[in-house]
Structure 1
Amino acid sequence: MSVVTAPPPGEPVEPQTTLVDGVVREASVPALVPPIRRGSLADLPYDNARQEPEAVLFSRRGPEGEWYDVTAARFAADVHAVAKGLIAHGLRPGDRLALMARTTYEWTLIDFAAWAAGLVTVPVHPTSSAFQTRWILQDSGAAACVVEDPGQARLVSAERRQLPGLAHLWVLDADAVDQLRRAGIRVADEAVTARRGLLTPETLATLVYTSGTTGRPKGCALTHANFFAEVDNAVRLLHPVFVAESSEPPATLLFLPLSHVFGRMVAVGCVRARVRVGHAPSVEGDGLLTDLAAFRPTFLLAIPYVLQKVYDTARATAERGGRAASFDRAARVARRYGQEDAPSLALRATRALYDTLVYRRIRAVLGGRVKYVICGGSPLGARLAEFYAGAGVEVFEGYGLTETTAASTVTPPQRPRTGTVGWPLPGTSVRIAEDGEVWLKGGHVFAGYWDAQRGTAVPYTDDGWFPTGDLGSLDADGYLRITGRKKDILITSAGKNVAPAPLEDWLRTHPLVAQCVVLGDNRPYVTALITLDHEGLTHWRRMRHKDHLALWELARDDELLGVLQRAVDEANRLVSRPESIRAFRVLTADFSETSGHLTPSLKLKRRAVLRDFAREIEEMYEAEGTP
């Protein structure tokens, strides 16, 4: 199995579109690589070690904060030793091994070692509750579990009575990797070779449980072939990201959870393409900024939240220094530059001036060498995408689900179209159903949902098309635009259908807004609940000399409400009057994963918000009446 290499430079293959009654209903792009016919992901470390043993695959942070390299040969040896340890403990081909930890080298090591031992890995988000953890371990039938720290070990141990099939529990902070290495010393190397030989592209590789915005999470059964179809086409399409075009080799710092399919896909893709990877355990705090400065990646995997925070922090810093007006002019120039296919000479000159004054500092926060960002998880928004493009960072926005091994569409190189999520990933077809729902088809689409009773995946359809539950449209060139969730469509008492996503996404870009939930189902008009961003609010209070006000007082402060009203007015320009927000309420509580209002991937649990803030919603409608 050879490494993926870049295609010759040139234009990406354009989508083939199908029209029905003059409207584009389907778009597809042929695969750039043939499907894998033999082998599995377990072969990648061994192939890399054989073909280029001194290639640097990882950099690890040492106890003093220094970074040191891990070669392809060293990674393969680590994988092999841990795989033998798993076999020594009696784990059989097809057994499920759960993995609950933050984003670390050990996570990726155990993932590949489990595959080399013929196992199926089951990611568990490190902040999962006892109930969520027990449900995933029960439903998957996990025979073993690796956790990061003693706290997680206690959480799992407290549930062991209800997990009779869980035979092993290892703790990374208690030297789990060394324990497995020592246990495997007496296992013959041929045992791992034999396990790898049993795997085919169609073998189940992992069960990734959905975030569970409603009900219990479902296990998405992803095969080795699903990952190959995803990463091989993505690496070939995005060759400027994954393949060195100069003396500067590509490198990325992973900080999104590897328990989420987005981060996992990129981790596998980097091993496949031999791209140097570092791991950072969290997106929160100053530690990530320190790691970015030390590691200096050339590209990043990010969610819109991260890019918005970088922008907001830069804007707040400029305001504290009395340079807010200059920053805002630079932002307008960047957005205008990002919109243009062929910027004028005057615009290029102005952009060059602000590159020195502003944009270079934005890039410095990201480590100083970042040229590309792969962004997914939720819509980025046109304004932010245009700003980063003008600031010298090309953003490849994508759209996909756990069921599609991450991306199903992606921005084609040098062909961005803001407001869309790009073209179909090569090898993918996108269809818009009669009711506007987005359907997907391709080799990356999962085998089905896990059925615990049968111990196998149940196919989701007979024809290969997967209905996503998202609403969207295709333009004449095959670009996909996501307009909302099918189940989130609000229908006012006047019968008006309202998609909340465009309004929510716009308002979340405001530096004072953390989260926004648009309401109006079976109501006379549309309203919104808004939570405040702590960093943005702290900065605003300091600049307005309102540090003495409590949070509940700020939620009623006329000046703050005026600022938010102007943001709402701007958002309302996106929609018709019947769809516009007629009233809003500022909450003093936060929407967070801990509070139960956000999933681990920071998506809103709309039902939980409606339940927990029912009183505030009723009071808002009673107070406002019918405008």
Structure 2
Amino acid sequence: MEVTRIFDILPYYEEKFQPKDDVIASKEDGQWKKINIKQYREIADNISYGFLALGVQPGDRIAQISPNRVEWNIVDMAILQIGAIHVPIYPTISETDYKHILGHAGVKFVFVSGNELLRKIKHILPDVPSIEGIYTYKDLQEYKHLNDLIELGKQNQDPEKLEKLKTSIKPDDVATIIYTSGTTGTQKGVMLTHNNLVSNFLAVAYIPPFGEKHKAVSYLPLCHVYERMLNYLYQYLGISVYYAENIGTITDNMKDVHPQIMSTVPRLLEKVYDKLVATGQKLKGPKSWIFWGAFHLAQRYELKGANGRFYEWKRKKYDKLVYSKWRAALGGEINLMVSGGAAMQPRLGRLFTCAGINILEGYGLTETSPVIAVCDFSEHGIKFGTVGPVLKNLEVKIADDGEICVKGPSVMKGYYKDDKLTAETIDKEGWLHTGDLGHIEPEGQLKITGRKKELFKTSFGKYVSPQLIEDVFKESLFIDQLIVVGENQKFAGALMIPDFIFLKSYCERKEIPFGSNKEVIANSVIKKRFQKEIDKYNKQFGDTEKIKSWDLLDAEWAVETGELTPTMKLKRPYIFRKYADKIDNLF
């Protein structure tokens, strides 16, 4: 059968693949809770019957606020197959944002994972009159459990009505409204149709060399379109999906599951990289020599044997001694990671690929469902520092000012209740203006060079792309995070956060007192070392882009403290406000 609506994945799966007990799975109370396709369909249908008994109509909005779990997928399918609209919401946002999203979307029912999230939203319920009920995934006396809805559905089964509803749903009907704040803080509801998402996962389905005998681990939030689309792709390909308990348990979960594929973001890869460096710093004697030999070899890795036979011979030797142990720490069978959400440092791609873990970097937006371009295994499919070829079912053009514009079946229907913003984003010819800057490499890969709105002009009238500079400086082992500033100034400056894990091991090796983060960044020896690092990377830039003034901060930026979006991008306006005095002092 053909998949044209998202919920078509379920009958397609049952028809195409051999029965297995782990279509999707999540860990509860120390045990993996596994769902087979028959259970998946049956529970989804009963939830749909429950919705119909409650009076849910096509087009009604239903929200989920929950970390990844099997119920998330089942409720998702139950919503979509009756023509309702799924509004997934991050579990990490503020009460103000919950109030805005639930109210703006006119949500009718809300599903939450447990008590902690209930506490965040119960105060705002009187301000959102459209909400008729709340269901939880844990037993709480005050609110109904998902099982109550399933029981209601069992008592009101009407297969004929459900089948009629499914048949009436068209590929161009809205399936989901995803609220995204970007880096500005303004929440926009992105309307994506069934066809938007289906066309996107079908366009990348040729890439993973995996199928029904393989497993994926999922830890990025399903409420983000990147992980959600990939979860649909995994199910379409028959790959079992295991949901990690949280970011802190992911390596343990991978050792349990032994996955072959997972999606990730550069931030996690950087943390793994840091741990490898810290491990290497602790080794002594022959073990240290072998480790650093393997590490430095990986830093020079080039694709398709371009380094020559002797390099590849050494790589095989180091694979037995070192790289195989790195893979074992990630379950032993991991072969492919898809990285998105932010720019990935080329050193990360080289290191992991050399170690036998292929890293495919991609690029996209919520508004494009999301993938626009992604590296693949074709002849020119991977080039470190690029996001790979544009998908075959999309068109991309580079505007005169360098902005990336895209057209095709995965471009959103528009912003919910905001025709003006929709018209500003999608022009009359159907081109969606991404706001990102880039160019097409000679061999066809797309390279991102910055964000249009983030460009700033110096007092000499020269434009500077801060992201381009930041991406280069993050190649340094010493620098974890930074923001480049300089609007209307004579030169560019930066606030930097050291990689404190690496810095601590560096201080131990050089016998420099570490103390606290605050103490170490005030150390004159450390400041001189950072200046040396800055001088090194400044050589890659013209005079306008060179960082000529800088300061170190003692605390990492995070989603919880407001400096990062849920997808780990810098919230520049917030950082500018928070560190206004420090930025002024740079100039």
TM-score, normalised to structure 2, is: 0.93
Q: CA deviation at 1:548?
A: 6.1
Secondary structure of the residue aligned to 2:496 is strand
Q: CA deviation at 1:459?
A: 8.3
Distance (whole Å) between structure 2 residues aligned to residue 89 and residue 537 of structure 1: 58
The letter of the residue matching 1:316 is: A
Alignment of 1:158 with 2:123, yes or no, is yes
Distance (whole Å) between structure 2 residues aligned to residue 52 and residue 459 of structure 1: 41
Distance (whole Å) between structure 1 residues aligned to residue 290 and residue 586 of structure 2: 39
Q: CA deviation at 1:184?
A: 0.8
Q: Deviations over 1:102-122 (max 9, x none)?
A: 111111111111112321111
Is the CA contact (8 Å cut-off) linking 1:598 and 1:605 kept in structure 2?
yes
Secondary structure of the residue aligned to 2:253 is helix
Q: CA deviation at 1:176?
A: 2.6
Is the CA contact (8 Å cut-off) linking 1:437 and 1:470 kept in structure 2?
yes
Match of 2:151 among 158, 166, 182: 182
Secondary structure of the residue aligned to 2:557 is coil
RMSD (CA atoms)? 2.3
- Greater RCO between the two (CA within 8 Å, min separation 6)? 1
Match of 1:129 among 60, 84, 94: 94
Q: CA deviation at 1:59?
A: 4.6
Is the CA contact (8 Å cut-off) linking 1:449 and 1:458 kept in structure 2?
no
Distance (whole Å) between structure 2 residues aligned to residue 386 and residue 221 of structure 1: 37
Distance (whole Å) between structure 2 residues aligned to residue 493 and residue 574 of structure 1: 22
Is the CA contact (8 Å cut-off) linking 1:472 and 1:480 kept in structure 2?
yes
Distance (whole Å) between structure 2 residues aligned to residue 161 and residue 67 of structure 1: 38
Distance 1:190 1:535, change over 3 A: farther
Q: CA deviation at 1:342?
A: 4.0
Alignment of 1:312 with 2:281, yes or no, is no
Secondary structure of the residue aligned to 1:349 is helix
Q: Deviations over 1:526-555 (max 9, x none)?
A: 111012344334444555556662332212
- Residue in 1 aligned with 2:43? 78
Instruction: Identify which range, 149-158 or 218-227, moves more after superposition.
Output: 149-158
Distance (whole Å) between structure 2 residues aligned to residue 288 and residue 483 of structure 1: 31
Q: Deviations over 1:319-370 (max 9, x none)?
A: 1113555434323322333345544221111111111222112212221101
Distance 1:430 1:182, change over 3 A: same
Distance 1:125 1:204, change over 3 A: same
Distance 1:412 1:50, change over 3 A: closer
- Residue in 2 aligned with 1:409? 373
Distance (whole Å) between structure 1 residues aligned to residue 74 and residue 515 of structure 2: 50
Distance (whole Å) between structure 2 residues aligned to residue 75 and residue 483 of structure 1: 43
The percent of aligned pairs where both chains have the same amino acid is 29
Trace 1:57-456 onto structure 2 (pairs within 5 A).
57-63=22-28, 65-67=30-32, 69-174=34-139, 176-187=145-156, 188-236=158-206, 238-240=207-209, 242-243=210-211, 249-283=213-247, 285=248, 287-322=249-284, 326-414=290-378, 415-451=381-417
Is the CA contact (8 Å cut-off) linking 1:99 and 1:123 kept in structure 2?
yes
Distance 1:564 1:347, change over 3 A: same
Is the CA contact (8 Å cut-off) linking 2:245 and 2:253 kept in structure 1?
no
Q: Deviations over 1:111-154 (max 9, x none)?
A: 11111232111111001100111111111111111111112112
Q: Deviations over 1:393-436 (max 9, x none)?
A: 11111110000011110112143111111111120111100000
Is the CA contact (8 Å cut-off) linking 2:23 and 2:238 kept in structure 1?
no
Distance (whole Å) between structure 1 residues aligned to residue 477 and residue 180 of structure 2: 30
Unaligned runs of 5+ residues in structure 2 are none
Match of 2:562 among 577, 583, 596: 596
Is the CA contact (8 Å cut-off) linking 2:27 and 2:245 kept in structure 1?
no
Instruction: Identify which range, 425-434 or 381-390, moves more after superposition.
Output: 381-390
Distance 1:561 1:166, change over 3 A: same
Distance (whole Å) between structure 2 residues aligned to residue 52 and residue 355 of structure 1: 35
Q: CA deviation at 1:575?
A: 1.5
Is the CA contact (8 Å cut-off) linking 1:235 and 1:273 kept in structure 2?
yes
Instruction: Identify which range, 201-210 or 588-597, moves more after superposition.
Output: 588-597
Alignment of 1:470 with 2:433, yes or no, is no
The letter of the residue matching 1:213 is: T
The letter of the residue matching 2:316 is: A
Is the CA contact (8 Å cut-off) linking 1:139 and 1:452 kept in structure 2?
no
Distance (whole Å) between structure 1 residues aligned to residue 317 and residue 122 of structure 2: 59
Distance 1:612 1:172, change over 3 A: same
Trace 1:483-498 onto structure 2 (pairs within 5 A).
483-498=449-464
Q: Deviations over 1:67-88 (max 9, x none)?
A: 3542222211121122222222
The letter of the residue matching 2:466 is: P
The letter of the residue matching 1:201 is: P
The letter of the residue matching 1:181 is: I
Secondary structure of the residue aligned to 1:79 is helix
Distance 1:560 1:327, change over 3 A: farther
Distance (whole Å) between structure 1 residues aligned to residue 111 and residue 301 of structure 2: 48
- Residue in 2 aligned with 1:516? 482
Distance 1:388 1:451, change over 3 A: same
Alignment of 1:616 with 2:578, yes or no, is no
Unaligned runs of 5+ residues in structure 1 are 4-35, 622-627
Distance (whole Å) between structure 2 residues aligned to residue 540 and residue 109 of structure 1: 48
Match of 2:14 among 46, 49, 70: 49
Secondary structure of the residue aligned to 2:410 is coil
Matched pairs, number = 577
